[in-house]
Amino acid sequence: MPTPARPLSSRIRWSRLGPLLLLLLLAFLPLFWLLDSHPVQQYDEARTGLNGLNIVRHNEWLVLRDGELKPDLWNCKPPLWPWLLSLSFRVVGLSELGLRLPAALAALATTLVVYAAGRRWLGSWEGGLLAALILLTSGGYIGLHTTRTGDFDALLTLWTTLGALSWLSYLQRGQARAAALTGLFFFLAAFTKGVAGLLFGPGLVLATLVLGQTQRLRRPAPWLALAGLAAGMATWYLVREQAAPGYLAAVWQYELGGPAGSELEGHHHEAYWYLTNLMESGFIYWLVPALLGGLLGWRLPKGSQGWWLVRFVLCVVGMFMLVLALTQTKLHWYSAPMFPLLALLAASGLLQMGRAVAAQQQWHLSPLARLGGLLVLVCLPYWAQCRAIARIYDDRYRVPSLRLGAHLRHQLELEPGIREYYHGDDGQFNDSPIFYRTIMEMQHGHRIERVPPWKVNETSAGRLVVICGAKPRREWERWYRTTLILQTDSCVTLRLETRR
């Protein structure tokens, strides 16, 4: 007896829910696996973590504070991200997971946005799923300082992706609501990371010209959205400067004039450096499909969904890379916002090639066969991405000073009576140990005094000291006879006996 055909409603449910559920399953490893298993990183992640901790500790939301509770002028971004971190710390706990979960959730939201955009602009569930999986296997997007650490860039990328796609929708349909959403999302991007949230601007203007939609600029909606964005950011900067003067000067030094006009902290590379990163690691598996998507997509029928998407992405990404190339300070995570758009472009190229081959061979593939082909296509990049995450986990022992948190937790478990001690650090600029010391002070009432190497001789015998790394330990043992209380990897808790 022949098997009855599957009902139409069942096929519709599969096409709507099946790919989405599969995407959520496949997103777990790149975004959440081992998320809290490596220590808080030395520079930006630790500093933003401290900003969030100090909001929780002192309930001060306007002026962000550093590890010494001074107004933080080095990290002078607007406060949306530290605000979210403080809420995460309250809900999830004072931990690496509380610090990183907001970035992982922002990356998951971005992945879902790309999936939805692929379904709309590429015209099928295959396009949405493929674009989302390309994003999840892009080394320039999944990694340290973006989705795997508690930094600004995952949230920034969510807002810029939503803002760019809203503007594309406005250019196509002319709806005032889409223009308003564009202004809202780019305001949130700027309120996350300042001027970095506005770097898509030149590309959006170019796309408007290339797509022949300058008449959209004659309507009040985009100008009202722009005015709202400008007014919101101006209000923030003025209020913040009044709360603690010197903020605007720091914004100019670290966000505007400094990074654009001169290299900061030695981060200078050639103008083509970002393109080299795409070829070598950031988009290594998908750069050729993206180029193919641009070439083929430019010749799509005028007015088709793919025609709109490809030309828009080429304009926005091209101008964004030009702006980055002209900026003197170059860091790999600055390019994070372009990867969702590149993922859509690469998916477009692969789908066009696949459809051309299927038509030429007269293949009529079932949804299951198309899904199988898609998974075969992404399996190697997906495996490579998981291996890259494992290497991040394996590198957790590389910098001894970053192991302080694990040692203090181990000490709390085995020696709960130890509540007052020195922390003998290595004297280097590093907010990660301060982050862990702050947690111990907030959660467990510990009293910890930092002692750099040049002040070891000013300490007192009979006290306990926690040290990570062989070099600072030798400095303490040069001045004191010590007794080992506890050891975790290269970190130790010593009792200072008599002076030598």
Give the residues of the chain that fall short of pLDDT 50. 1-3
Return all residues near 337 (Cβ < 8 A) that are at least 6 apart: 153, 156, 157, 160, 161, 199, 200, 320
Cα-Cα-Cα-Cα dihedral sign, residues 252, 257, 260, 262: negative
Which tokens belong to 264?
Answer: 């900061």
Which tokens belong to 486?
Answer: 């506890």
**Beta bridge partner(s), residue 449:** 422
Please give the Cα distance from 138 to 343 (Å, whole number): 8
Give CA angle at 484 (480, 489), nearest 5°: 115
Alpha helical stretches, state H, 252-397: 257-261, 273-277, 287-297, 305-326, 339-361, 367-394
Place of tokens 């964005």: 229
Please give the Cα distance from 460 to 453 (Å, whole number): 14
Q: State the DSSP H helix or E strand holding residue 482, giving kind and residue range, or none if neither.
A: strand 480-488
Please give the Cα distance from 257 to 259 (Å, whole number): 6
Q: Is 123 left (phi over 0), alpha (psi -120 to 50) or beta?
A: left
- The answer to whether 174 and 219 are in contact (CB under 8 A) is yes
The confidence score (pLDDT) of residue 444 equals 95
Number of H helices, E strands in the chain: 19, 5
Please give the Cα distance from 50 to 72 (Å, whole number): 10
The confidence score (pLDDT) of residue 13 equals 65
pTM score of the predicted model: 0.93
Please give the Cα distance from 96 to 405 (Å, whole number): 10
**How many C-beta atoms lie closer than 10 Å to residue 46's C-beta?**
24
Which tokens belong to 448?
Answer: 């910890």
What does DSSP assign to residue 499?
E
**Beta bridge partner(s), residue 499:** 480
3-state helix, strand and coil shares in percent for the chain, rounded to the nearest 5? 70, 5, 25
Give CA angle at 454 (489, 461), nearest 5°: 70
Dihedral (C-alpha) 281, 297, 119, 150: value to the nearest 10 degrees?
A: 30
Q: State the pairing for strand pair 491-499/480-488.
A: antiparallel
- The answer to whether 294 and 345 are in contact (CB under 8 A) is yes
Please give the Cα distance from 193 to 419 (Å, whole number): 38
Rounded to 5 degrees, what are φ and ψ at 486?
-160, 145
Please give the Cα distance from 446 to 412 (Å, whole number): 10
Please give the Cα distance from 299 to 141 (Å, whole number): 29
Rg (CA), the chain: 26
Return all residues near 81 (Cβ < 8 A) that are at least 6 apart: 48, 102, 152, 155, 192, 193
What does DSSP assign to residue 490?
T
Indicate the angle between helix axes 153-173 and 305-326, nearest 10 degrees.
140
Q: CA-CA distances (angstroms) from residue 293 to 120, 175, 202, 205, 279? A: 16, 28, 22, 22, 16
Please give the Cα distance from 297 to 121 (Å, whole number): 12
Please give the Cα distance from 141 to 282 (Å, whole number): 7
Which tokens belong to 406?
Answer: 């694990």
Q: State the DSSP H helix or E strand holding residue 494, giving kind and residue range, or none if neither.
A: strand 491-499
Which tokens belong to 394?
Answer: 């394996």
The confidence score (pLDDT) of residue 56 equals 95
User: Residue 420: helix, strand or coil by DSSP?
Assistant: strand
User: Residue 415: helix, strand or coil by DSSP?
Assistant: coil
